[in-house]
Structure 1
Amino acid sequence: MNIRQARHGRRFRSGLTPDQCSTLTMTLFPFFQNAYNHLDLLNLCFLFTVTCFVNKYVLSVLRFMYPTIFQGWQTLVGAVFIQIQIMQGYIDPVFDVNNRQTLILCLPELVLFAISIYSGSKALANITIPAFLAVCNGCLLMKRISNCFLHRTFMLSDPIGWLTHGTLVITVLGVLKTDPMYHYDGYFWVYVHIACLGAIFLFTEINKDIIRLNKTKLLFYNYVFSIFVFAPCSYLLGDAAAAVNFKHFYLYRFYVGCILSGVFGVLLNLQHIKLEESKLSTYDESVHIAKIVASVMSVPVFHFPMTKEHILWILANQITTVFIISYSRHKYTEQKQINFPGEMD
């Protein structure tokens, strides 16, 4: 180092001083942070799409119509996977004697989780992926009703919000009426699935201030509870006896599909938890983008019939959902700024 370099500060091989390197790092940090967030969102889209496709393939193409066995396998894989993470030290130990009261408070959610994945499998087995995801967007209405119940807000307090949710209901009805593959039992289980998801959100919000439980631990409890539920139900509902006569029981594609379904399902739930806990502002939009990607890509993959009216209603449903999510985020940000105003410059 010569006298001139010492006078101007130590320089790296790139010719930058430490202060310049620090400034450059702070400038580029948002770029790399956004790139990291985009990578997480791409992972979400990939896992959501692949999980839907694998489940649809096993349930509809191979016609493995025994949801208690199928979902029991998925929850078993999830519980084992999370337990491996606990053994490696990535997750804190789950079982704790002091958590008995927490488990009692979480019991309604555990039951609803088991019912929701059972009803979701029954519905997806008989309904196309675009129609299933479009109707499931009705969960936004359940979420809004739950928020009104919890926060004691009235309908007239946000007429635009209620108008858009009413439009969403109309588009859902349009999807039902124009579905060329309409299946009564399939849509019945969609309604059960939506009701369970809405009730889960309600119980979660009620117990949020009481239960301080890591969401990964709650996912583990859901999986373990579902295993103990599906095991006896597979016999009581006749799935165990009927599965013996499954015609594709000896195909390797069946076993590969079941394994991939369990693995991708666990990874998808963990990715949801990761993005939700990161408090990413575009989390809800990202989830809906993943639904749109899965819907579009499923059409050429599974070759189910689609009419123009049905496509238009699904498109209207997706557009309305995007508006509702964006509007809700804008209202939440606006309300937060009112309740917690920033300091004036």
Structure 2
Amino acid sequence: MNVARVILALVFCTFFTASYFTNKYVLSILMFTFPTIFQGWQTSTGALLLLVTWKLGLVEINGLSRSAAFSQLPGSFLFIGNIYAGSKALSLLPIPFFFVLQNVSEVFAFLIVTVTHREKPPWMKLLSVCMLLGSAASVMVYNPRFGPSGYTWASIHLFCVGAYKVFQKNTKTSLLSDLEEQFINYVTSSLLLASLAYSTGDLSGALDFPLLTSYSFHTGCLGSAIFSFCLMLATVKLKGSLSPEHCGVWFFLAKILASGLSLLLSTFNTVLSPVTQCCIILNYAGEALFAYSDRFK
């Protein structure tokens, strides 16, 4: 791997960690519990920034045909479920727990592909699946104070993440690039979340939020939108520059970095028991084995 790719990967890890930290800060520390408003702000800002960067010639977006846009709509609805449920889960769970449960989305996608394609998985892949499921279940059993709401939203989140991966794999078309798919996701999410914010009363509730005019709230929301957009661009660039195997390695390292730093920061006040620490380590070991099990067929 050359120096430019290493720098790109490090930039990706930086934005990955910063994005989750700012989201966690707004959702948990500031307790802004209005995901329709929060995610609507992020997706509308993302759509606007994507348009600006396109007009400046920094990214390439071709003309979107109506048929191509409609073909992406199922994925856009899964994307909305992903970010909405993910916000609810992240607001209730520590960052390491969130990643442990999110990793189960790989199992969900793997099981769907295995059943539909009638493939016989290697035994190491099955072992990694057991490690991921067992560690995630153990985290929930040994930390019941975060359930049922936190674990329920995390389950919806991992379902949407896994289903979106299957959707991308089975319906990926040359008509849309990754950035064009993301632009459709942004626009669809902005429109739907705006209507939901009004119909559910989140808009009036957000206007009464005690910290609405505070500097920390404005800084956190602005940072979350910018870091999320930069993370999206870095992710697209990383996938275009590295093989899926190398991308998986950097995603894995980014999660470890974010989890480890979240335990060191007093802001999040995360304390883990020895049993929970072992479960998290087992989960990451299962993720690593899952990523590399194909080479042992």
TM-score, scaled relative to structure 2: 0.94
Match in the other structure for 1:137: 103
Match in the other structure for 1:177: 141
Match in the other structure for 1:215: 178
Once residues 140 and 176 of structure 1 are traced to their aligned partners in structure 2, the CA distance between those partners, rounded to angstroms, is 18
Aligned AA (1:299): L
Aligned AA (1:267): C
Answering whether residue 31 of structure 2 is matched by residue 35 of structure 1, we say no
Match in the other structure for 2:152: 188
Match in the other structure for 1:28: none
Aligned AA (1:256): T
Once residues 79 and 294 of structure 1 are traced to their aligned partners in structure 2, the CA distance between those partners, rounded to angstroms, is 26
Once residues 296 and 90 of structure 1 are traced to their aligned partners in structure 2, the CA distance between those partners, rounded to angstroms, is 33
Answering whether residue 87 of structure 2 is matched by residue 124 of structure 1, we say no
Matches within 5 A, 1:53-68: 53-68=21-36
Identity of aligned pairs, percent? 30
Answering whether residue 259 of structure 2 is matched by residue 295 of structure 1, we say yes
Given that 2:131 and 2:282 are in contact with CA atoms closer than 8 Å, whether structure 1 keeps it comes out as: no
Match in the other structure for 2:52: 84
Once residues 226 and 24 of structure 2 are traced to their aligned partners in structure 1, the CA distance between those partners, rounded to angstroms, is 15
Answering whether residue 267 of structure 2 is matched by residue 304 of structure 1, we say no
TM-score, scaled relative to structure 1: 0.81
The alignment partner of 1:282 has SS state of helix
Match in the other structure for 2:40: 72
Answering whether residue 7 of structure 2 is matched by residue 44 of structure 1, we say no
Aligned AA (2:261): M
Per-residue CA deviation, residues 212-262 of structure 1 (Å, 9 max, x unaligned), is 311011111111111001101001222111112211111111011101100
How far off is 1:180 after superposition?
A: 6.3
Aligned AA (1:245): D
Aligned AA (2:9): L
Matches within 5 A, 1:310-329: 310-328=276-294
Once residues 163 and 220 of structure 1 are traced to their aligned partners in structure 2, the CA distance between those partners, rounded to angstroms, is 37
Given that 1:116 and 1:197 are in contact with CA atoms closer than 8 Å, whether structure 2 keeps it comes out as: yes
Match in the other structure for 2:194: 231
Given that 1:102 and 1:211 are in contact with CA atoms closer than 8 Å, whether structure 2 keeps it comes out as: no
Match in the other structure for 2:73: 107
Higher RCO, 1 vs 2 (CA within 8 Å, ≥6 residues apart): 2
Once residues 51 and 189 of structure 1 are traced to their aligned partners in structure 2, the CA distance between those partners, rounded to angstroms, is 19
Aligned AA (1:298): S
Once residues 132 and 40 of structure 1 are traced to their aligned partners in structure 2, the CA distance between those partners, rounded to angstroms, is 25
Answering whether residue 123 of structure 2 is matched by residue 159 of structure 1, we say yes
Say what the alpha-carbon RMSD is for the aligned residues.
1.6
Once residues 290 and 152 of structure 1 are traced to their aligned partners in structure 2, the CA distance between those partners, rounded to angstroms, is 33
Once residues 64 and 94 of structure 1 are traced to their aligned partners in structure 2, the CA distance between those partners, rounded to angstroms, is 37
Match in the other structure for 2:214: 251
Once residues 49 and 6 of structure 2 are traced to their aligned partners in structure 1, the CA distance between those partners, rounded to angstroms, is 26
Matches within 5 A, 1:248-287: 248-280=211-243, 281-287=245-251
Match in the other structure for 1:339: none
Aligned AA (1:101): S
Match in the other structure for 2:161: 197
Given that 2:122 and 2:293 are in contact with CA atoms closer than 8 Å, whether structure 1 keeps it comes out as: no
How far off is 1:293 after superposition?
A: 0.5
Given that 1:130 and 1:295 are in contact with CA atoms closer than 8 Å, whether structure 2 keeps it comes out as: yes
Once residues 249 and 52 of structure 2 are traced to their aligned partners in structure 1, the CA distance between those partners, rounded to angstroms, is 32
In the TM superposition, structure 1's runs of 4+ consecutive aligned residues that sit over 4 Å from their partners are: none
Per-residue CA deviation, residues 185-206 of structure 1 (Å, 9 max, x unaligned), is 1111111111111111111122
The alignment partner of 2:125 has SS state of helix
Per-residue CA deviation, residues 3-28 of structure 1 (Å, 9 max, x unaligned), is xxxxxxxxxxxxxxxxxxxxxxxxxx
Cα gap change, 1:50 to 1:92, in 2 (>3 Å): closer
- How many corresponding residue pairs? 294
Gaps of 5+ in 2: none
Once residues 84 and 165 of structure 1 are traced to their aligned partners in structure 2, the CA distance between those partners, rounded to angstroms, is 42
Aligned AA (2:72): C
Gaps of 5+ in 1: 1-32, 335-345
How far off is 1:181 after superposition?
A: 4.1
Given that 2:125 and 2:289 are in contact with CA atoms closer than 8 Å, whether structure 1 keeps it comes out as: no
Cα gap change, 1:233 to 1:94, in 2 (>3 Å): farther
